[in-house]
Amino acid sequence: FDRAYQGFGAGDVARDAIAVRHFVKDGHEICLTQSYAKNMGLYGERAGAFPLITGSKDDAQRTMSQLKIIVRPMYSNPPIHGARIVTEILTDPALKSQWLVDVKGMADRIISMRTQLRDNLKKEGSQRDWSHIADQIGMFT
């Protein structure tokens, strides 16, 4: 799963993770990429996570061993500035609460822009059905 824009779909980071939770609940092993570049405004900081849900501790250890082989040639010392910012925000209740409000605000803006685009297309005389523009969620649907 790729969660680069988590929270920008429904305006709620938990609601945007429903599919992930569904697959885990059904017993699937998953890889999840999470980027905080967009939903925390940390462009260029390379802040994110790569959680794995495996069937056993042995599977997790084998998977991590292979991931380390892949990652090691790419960098020896990963950037830490962005990771520290994310950690600070997610572990401080007041900062996390403000961040969730900000994410909701961005999602609401995306929804509003989609609605305005649909309405303006109608206003300009288009006879096409543009409802899909306002009905879909997220940035790239």
Cα distances (Å, whole numbers) of residue 91 to 49, 53, 84, 88, 118: 15, 22, 10, 5, 39
Look at residue 31 and tell me if it is in a domain.
yes
Query: How many domains does the chain divide into?
Result: 1
Provide the pLDDT for residue 80: 84
Contact criterion met (CB below 8 Å) for 52 and 31? yes
DSSP strands (E only) in the chain? 2-3, 30-31, 33-35, 48-49, 52-53
Look at residue 16 and tell me if it is in a domain.
yes
Closest CA to 3 of 47, 45, 44, 36: 36
- CB neighbour list of residue 71: distance below 8 Å, 6 or more residues apart: none
Distance CA 119, CA 135 (A): 12
Q: What is the mean pLDDT of the chain?
A: 91
Look at residue 64 and tell me if it is in a domain.
yes
pLDDT tens column, 61-73 = 999 999 989 888 8
Look at residue 140 and tell me if it is in a domain.
no
Q: What is the CATH number of the domain that holds 74?
A: 3.40.640.10
Look at residue 141 and tell me if it is in a domain.
no
Q: Which domain holds residue 108?
A: 2-135
Instruction: Kindly tell me if the per-residue pLDDT of 141 is higher than 70.
Output: no
Instruction: Kindly tell me if the per-residue pLDDT of 126 is higher than 80.
Output: yes
Cα distances (Å, whole numbers) of residue 64 to 1, 67, 76, 85, 138: 17, 5, 16, 25, 31
Distance CA 120, CA 113 (A): 10
Look at residue 67 and tell me if it is in a domain.
yes
Report the percentage of the chain scoring pLDDT > 70: 99
Residues in the chain: 141
